[in-house]
Amino acid sequence: MQTVTLTTDFGHDDYYVALLKGTLLRHNPGLQIVDISHNVNHFDIVQGAFVLKNTYPSFPDGTIHIVTVNNSAEGRSLICLEFANQFFIGPDNGIFSLIFPDMPEAWRLDPVGESPFSAQTTIATAVAHLASAKPLYEVGLPAGEVVQRIALQPVTTHSQIRGSVIYVDHYENVTINITQALFEKVRNGRKFALFFKRNDPITTLSRHYTDVTVGEPLCLFNAAGLLEIAVCMGKASSLLGLKLDDMVQIDFL
């Protein structure tokens, strides 16, 4: 059974998710469709890339991942590519360049129909093609240059890292664009102080959310290997005033 995942900014209040699923099943009734998320913030390709980047490695070889975030702009084409024995279909808006450090070769899907709202049919046709084990290069012409976006990177010195908020999850835990590898490299065994907004700095690295008392802020490295600020049994984003793109600073002592 062919597994197909969906990552969208459609939400659940409208018919768009059902329309896409129905079109996929009409072209291939045997699909196993897995919802990764339909709650990506509207048009937010950074969040969409973050969600899919941290999800696709869990799926088996041959999985087809469909991402449709901010693909409503007039004339925006759809591309398809293969990476780590999995397939990815989505808009040429830079989202894939945020997922893959080295952008794989992409193929531009042949559009099906002339309606500006026929993207789901184009996607379903490509999925049916790939599910039949047909070659990737037959879905369309080589895409050539695709849109590239550069993710904001932390700034480092010998004794400091400045990063920013890149994701806020359902629990309002706040993810920072600082990897554990970078943190440990600059830290080099020293003590640290994590400053954000006008809150007191966090000076201890936790392993679990319950390492501190209820209501107390903490920091740890999450499943994605990124620094996270949380509040035990609380909502860090609201309680600490942290939102997307806010800056944090780590001083090493």
Per residue in 59-93, pLDDT (tens digit) is 999 999 999 998 765 456 999 999 999 999 999 99
Q: Could you give the domains of the chain?
A: 3-142 (3.40.50.10790), 155-252 (2.40.30.90)
What's the confidence (pLDDT) of residue 112? 85
Mind listing the pLDDT tens digit for each residue in 121-163? Answer: 999 999 999 999 999 999 999 999 999 998 889 999 999 999 9
Q: What is the pLDDT of residue 118?
A: 81
Region for 139 from its dihedrals, namely left if φ exceeds 0, alpha if ψ lies in -120 to 50, beta otherwise: alpha
**Per-residue pLDDT tens digits for 188-244:** 999 999 999 989 999 999 999 999 999 999 999 999 999 999 999 999 999 999 999
pLDDT at 74: 47
Closest-CA residue to 178 (of 208, 233, 219): 219
Q: Say what the pLDDT of residue 72 is.
A: 63
| pLDDT at residue 117 tops 80 | no
Edge-to-edge strand list for the sheet holding 64-68: 32-37, 3-8, 64-68, 86-91, 78-83, 106-109, 140-142
What pLDDT, on the 0 to 100 scale, is given for residue 116? 62
Helix (H, G, I), strand (E, B) or coil at 151: coil
Lookup: tokens for 232? 């035990």
Could you give phi then psi for residue 52, rounded to 5 degrees? -70, -40
Instruction: Provide the percentage of residues in the chain whose pLDDT is more than 90.
Output: 90
Averaged over 169-173, what is the pLDDT? Answer: 96
Q: What is the pLDDT of residue 71?
A: 74
pLDDT at 125: 96
User: Helix, strand, coil % (nearest 5) of the chain?
Assistant: 25, 30, 45
Q: Does pLDDT of 95 surpass 60?
A: yes
Length of the chain: 253
